[in-house]
């Protein structure tokens, strides 16, 4: 999320809402449409084989077109794929990022024996 924080800030009301979205998007004051899309993103990320037609139908009920759904699925799948490639290669986040050298992944990669 942090590498796209600037993009997030461009579509939310202020920095406080940006932080709220990162902590718990469901209680960050987003529209029901936005929450529905983020719920779908979480489901596609965590349990891709559990995604069904009714998930897409629910998004259509929030006004998403088929073209927007195809774009969303492609975008989500691409980022999930790239994240797995980077994780699989032990690539650390940039040092300036919240989860960079002082944070999470550097510790994880060292514990895996990667440096």
Q: Average per-residue pLDDT in the chain?
A: 80
Q: Is the pLDDT of residue 57 over 80?
A: yes
Q: Where does 31-111 sit in CATH, by number?
A: 1.20.1290.10
> For residue 20, what pLDDT is reported?
74
Mean pLDDT of 49-58: 96
Radius of gyration of the chain (CA): 16
Q: Is the pLDDT of residue 70 over 90?
A: yes
pTM score over 0.75: no
Q: Which two tokens stand for residue 51?
A: 């995604």
Burial string for 54-89 (b: 16+ CB within 10 Å, else e) reads eebeebeeeebeeeebeebbeebeeeeeeeeeeeee
Burial class (CB in 10 A: 0-12, 13-18, 19+), 21: buried
> For residue 106, what pLDDT is reported?
47
């Amino acid at each position: 999320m942090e590498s796209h924080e600037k993009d997030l800030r461009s579509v939310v009301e202020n920095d406080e809402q940006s932080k709220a979205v990162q902590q718990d998007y469901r209680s960050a004051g987003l529209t029901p449409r936005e929450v529905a899309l983020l719920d779908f993103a979480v489901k596609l990320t965590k349990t891709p084989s559990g995604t069904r037609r009714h998930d897409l139908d629910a998004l259509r009920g929030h006004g998403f077109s088929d073209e927007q759904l195809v774009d969303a699925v492609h975008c989500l799948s691409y980022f999930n794929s790239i994240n797995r490639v980077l994780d699989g290669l032990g690539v650390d986040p940039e040092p300036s990022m919240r989860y960079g050298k002082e944070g999470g992944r550097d510790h994880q990669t060292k514990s895996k024996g990667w440096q």
